[in-house]
Amino acid sequence: MALTFQLIGEAVIGLGTLTFSVGAATGWLQDWSEDTQSAIRFVMFASTSATTYHLVKTCESLKGE
Query: Is pTM, for the whole model, over 0.85?
Result: no
What pLDDT is attached to residue 3?
85
| pLDDT band at residue 65 under the 50/70/90 scheme | low
Residue 22 three-state SS: helix
Give alpha helix (H) positions in 1-65.
Answer: 2-26, 34-64
The residue extents of the domains of the chain are: 1-14+33-60
d(CA 38, CA 15) in angstroms, rounded, equals 15
What is the average pLDDT score of the chain?
91
d(CA 7, CA 1) in angstroms, rounded, equals 10
